[in-house]
Structure 1
Amino acid sequence: MTTVEVNFDGLIGPTHHYGGLSAGNLASVGHRHAISSPRKAALQGLAKMKRVADMGIPQAFLPPHPRPDLSFLSSHGFTGSPGEIITAAHKERPDLLSIAYSASAMWTANAATVSPSSDCADGRVHFTPANLQTMPHRALEAEHTTKTLRAIFHDSNHFVVHDPLPGVAETSDEGAANHTRFCREYHSPGVELFVYGRDGDDGADQRYPARQTRAACEEIASAHGLVPDRCVFARQHPWAIDAGVFHNDVISVGNQALHLVHEFAFADQERVLAELAERFGPGLQQIVVRDEELKLADAVQSYFFNSQLLQTGPQQMLLICPIECSENAAANRLVANLLRGDNPIFDCQFVDLRESMQNGGGPACLRLRVVLTKEERAALPSGVFLTEDRYHQLCNWVRRHYRDRLAVEDLADASLVDEVAVAMHELNQMLGF
């Protein structure tokens, strides 16, 4: 197989904590100021990566962002040495300190929107890093994500890493969490589904913020050189957003010619599914999960649709579900019905990602999907791929440097700054970044 989908997972950083920073993300808000375990979180994420790699599916990773973001704190008037900045911020604005320490870049489904070379007019893979401007802790990520992607996808013969869209409300962009590509084979031209929560000023009266705009989706499609009649634009159902579906990957998932979608995913669902079918042509299987099968509340609690749908062979797919799906009766029944049904899913594996899940991100949140030809893959630095040796190196690195317990109050500990700096220096030397 010369063209494959590579999963780039976010390596969970040493400052993973429950800040409750993400309005509309019920898990994040619900676990606000609980005690986290950065060590357990990172090892759980690595175990999931290893599981995928062991199936023969190419698995890579993106390193954590440097934290705390002292420049962010400085921009809010805190000055002095790192220790003095941390102490003052904790005393006066602990909310800003939590933002500066956020490890949310681990959810690489929000890192960028990616279009493979077979879809783009210039025959190169295009990336647009997300500006994530809706949430202050996530808006910090755009600049560093852009630098990281340009360091990895550096060969301009094969890759284009655009600047993020302007970080303003009109072009609010959340990356691949609101984007799905359908194709017959990975090397074939695809149909790209762009999902948005608001168009202009509509949606302002919703309970939770609609994070993606149609204007952002259209600008990305144009910048990537996509054929207009191979793009579909769909608005999220307002009910879903207000039920805690802050990104489309919490309510639908697709791979190649299979689309699993909740009946309340899109505001104009009948049109969206018909347009996808028309633009794809024969062979697209769209399985609509009725609300009576899986209530919106159960979809959000279990994160069923945030499962990874992996291609393991011709017409053969595997679901990697969060372990919460095995504990939710409705989600568990849905998995069983899919395994018995007439579709490419032949197996399901449940993974323990509780540390990430409690902060609002499941298996699909942790990965960015990048379709690459053999030549494009060869142009990447080998150090980003998860081999057996690299897996053990990273696990040992985590055990050496990560705290087993981190409360929000611990962010005031000035020694945490030095701990993280030492850890990141060692990681950068290991990776050659």
Structure 2
Amino acid sequence: MHDTHEYNFDGLVGPTHNYAGLAAGNLASARNADQASDPRGAALQGLHKAQALQALGLRQGILPPQERPNLAALRRLGYSGRDRDVLAKVRAEAPGLLAAVSSASSMWTANAGTVAPSADTADGLVHFTPANLCSNLHRSLEPQTSARVLAATFASSAHFVHHEALPATPAMGDEGAANHTRLCGEYGEPGLQLFVYGRGNDDEPAPIRFPARQTRAACEALARLHQLSPAHTRLQLQNPAVVDAGVFHNDVIAVGNREVLLYHEDAFVDAAALRQWIGSQWRGSRAPVFIEVPRARVSVAEAVSSYLFNSQLICPPGGGMQMIVASECQEHPRVWDEIERIVADPTNPITQVRVFDLRQSMRNGGGPACLRLRVVLTADERDAVNAGSWLTPERYDALVAWVRQHYRDRLVLADLADPQLLDETRTALDRLTQILGLGSIYDFQR
């Protein structure tokens, strides 16, 4: 049990990182639509965060971006001819479609899938289900490659089980770990599984302005697939009012780690019942800790614009829990006051805050927690992970050099039709699979 730890697998920002404003309900993405982006800077910011956490003593993994523009998707939609001709035709006829098939949104690996650790599954194996992300066209193109990436990274059938994505229908909308939280005493102890959904039964309240992407039916299916104990699994309805205020995933309004659940007062429908359930079903060696941020101190709008709850909560060696926050939190005085209050409070285990500049990602609606997939592993499971996927000082240097060699430092939407960008991206990704030792995971390699 004491050799079991939580590992973060951060997603690399892809070479086509751009601001197209594709996702309804993602206010940051809509606000920055059509602005020039800096793919090189975005990738380096993400790598810096991963390397800094590794320097704290955490084991850190890396997941690769997806091939974009996605020519295979365009051909499925009836475009034909040479790659350059397809790009030119789509740019002229359907620029919105070109933006969708060029999105670098796979960098938000909290949406890559849902993971259940072996301590919680009936068969004692780690289960993975890639998210179908069917609510948005640009994200619905990700599950097939996400499944390949997860299978190549966690390849041992003796330790890992890989499920297919749920059927890509609105009734089974699944956004992955961004709507899932595991709470426990120690990472190796059996825990509680919390699935948060925005759209449930007909008699449950639902948002009006923006779509609820995660459904109750999807949460139920994931719990069955992952062989989770019904007694220790909670399906929790998200407050529809916060979805309409721009909380498109639960990790924009709540975050949990080990025994701590940090959430906004308006995050859930009936938070009191949720706390009561956690207390009644708790089986960890540490008592659960609830940190509720009152709306009187931080409004939902302030939480959304600062991404306070999209912070990472981490447990470095040596004790004490830390908050990893985006620099935007410092720029909101009331949010920063609340963070300082949380860190100073001796009744919770959070003792320190660390600030990172992730502005390129934040402008598209993704903070520190969006950029990583959390995986709890025993020592044997950790040793079964693809060795090249772990971030080491040498691999960090190699990845930084790779980004500097292959990424542009400025990209506008018109550039997405540039056939040279497609060639640059494929060259970069081919080299990346060699750095990470992943084999042929992309269509152009197969």
User: TM-score higher than 0.5 here?
Assistant: yes
Partner of 1:123: 124
Q: Distance in 2 between matches of 1:420 and 1:153?
A: 25
The one of 263, 278, 287 equivalent to 1:261 is: 263
Q: Distance in 1 between matches of 2:207 and 2:36?
A: 33
1:356 deviates by 0.2
Do the aligned residues in 1 keep the contact of 2:184 with 2:258 (CA within 8 Å)? yes
Do the aligned residues in 1 keep the contact of 2:254 with 2:261 (CA within 8 Å)? yes
Post-superposition CA distance 1:334-392 (Å, at most 9, x none): 11101110211111011000000000000000000000000000011110011000001
The one of 316, 321, 331 equivalent to 1:327 is: 331
Partner of 1:237: 239
The one of 400, 404, 408 equivalent to 2:409 is: 404
Do the aligned residues in 1 keep the contact of 2:261 with 2:289 (CA within 8 Å)? yes
Partner of 1:415: 420
| Secondary structure at the counterpart of residue 263 of structure 2 | strand
Q: Distance in 2 between matches of 1:170 and 1:319?
A: 35
| Secondary structure at the counterpart of residue 409 of structure 2 | coil
Q: Check 1:205–1:227 CA distance in 2 against 1; reply closer, same or farther (3 A cut).
A: closer
Q: Distance in 1 between matches of 2:433 and 2:226?
A: 31
Q: Check 1:315–1:231 CA distance in 2 against 1; reply closer, same or farther (3 A cut).
A: farther
Partner of 2:357: 352
Q: Does 1:306 align with 2:310?
A: yes
Q: Quick one: which amino acid aligns to residue 282 of structure 2? A: F
Normalising by structure 1, we get a TM-score of 0.98
Q: Distance in 2 between matches of 1:30 and 1:403?
A: 23
| Secondary structure at the counterpart of residue 6 of structure 2 | strand
Most deviating of 75-84 and 195-204? 195-204
Partner of 2:370: 365
| Secondary structure at the counterpart of residue 131 of structure 1 | coil
1:432 deviates by 2.2
Most deviating of 67-76 and 330-339? 67-76
1:203 deviates by 5.9
Do the aligned residues in 1 keep the contact of 2:307 with 2:367 (CA within 8 Å)? yes
1:279 deviates by 1.3
| Secondary structure at the counterpart of residue 7 of structure 1 | strand
* Structure 1 consecutive aligned stretches of length 4 or more whose deviation exceeds 6 Å: none
Do the aligned residues in 2 keep the contact of 1:307 with 1:321 (CA within 8 Å)? yes
Partner of 1:289: 293
| Secondary structure at the counterpart of residue 298 of structure 2 | coil
Instruction: Give the number of equivalent residue pairs.
Output: 433
Partner of 2:441: none
Alignment of structure 1 residues 265-276 onto 2, 5 Å: 265-276=267-278
- Gap runs ≥5 in structure 1: none
Q: Check 1:233–1:350 CA distance in 2 against 1; reply closer, same or farther (3 A cut).
A: same
Most deviating of 279-288 and 256-265? 279-288
Q: Check 1:304–1:104 CA distance in 2 against 1; reply closer, same or farther (3 A cut).
A: same
Post-superposition CA distance 1:53-111 (Å, at most 9, x none): 00110100101111111111112221101000000000000011011111100000001
Do the aligned residues in 2 keep the contact of 1:200 with 1:213 (CA within 8 Å)? no
1:431 deviates by 2.0
- Gap runs ≥5 in structure 2: 439-446
Q: Distance in 1 between matches of 2:334 and 2:242?
A: 18
1:205 deviates by 5.8
Q: Distance in 1 between matches of 2:15 and 2:160?
A: 30
Most deviating of 179-188 and 261-270? 261-270
Q: Distance in 2 between matches of 1:203 and 1:89?
A: 40
The one of 337, 343, 353 equivalent to 2:341 is: 337
Residue identity (%): 49
Q: Quick one: which amino acid aligns to residue 307 of structure 1? A: S
Partner of 1:250: 252
Post-superposition CA distance 1:251-272 (Å, at most 9, x none): 0111111111101111122212
Do the aligned residues in 1 keep the contact of 2:184 with 2:259 (CA within 8 Å)? yes
Most deviating of 233-242 and 282-291? 282-291
Do the aligned residues in 1 keep the contact of 2:17 with 2:38 (CA within 8 Å)? yes
Q: Quick one: which amino acid aligns to residue 429 of structure 1? A: Q
| Secondary structure at the counterpart of residue 330 of structure 2 | helix
Q: Quick one: which amino acid aligns to residue 89 of structure 2? A: A
Normalising by structure 2, we get a TM-score of 0.95
Q: Quick one: which amino acid aligns to residue 361 of structure 1? A: G
Partner of 2:75: 74
Post-superposition CA distance 1:193-228 (Å, at most 9, x none): 000000145666610000000010011011111111
Q: Distance in 2 between matches of 1:424 and 1:33?
A: 25
1:430 deviates by 2.0
Cα root mean square deviation, aligned: 1.2
| Secondary structure at the counterpart of residue 19 of structure 2 | coil
| Secondary structure at the counterpart of residue 373 of structure 2 | strand
1:313 deviates by 4.2
Do the aligned residues in 2 keep the contact of 1:110 with 1:176 (CA within 8 Å)? yes
Q: Quick one: which amino acid aligns to residue 9 of structure 1? A: D
Q: Distance in 2 between matches of 1:205 and 1:307?
A: 25
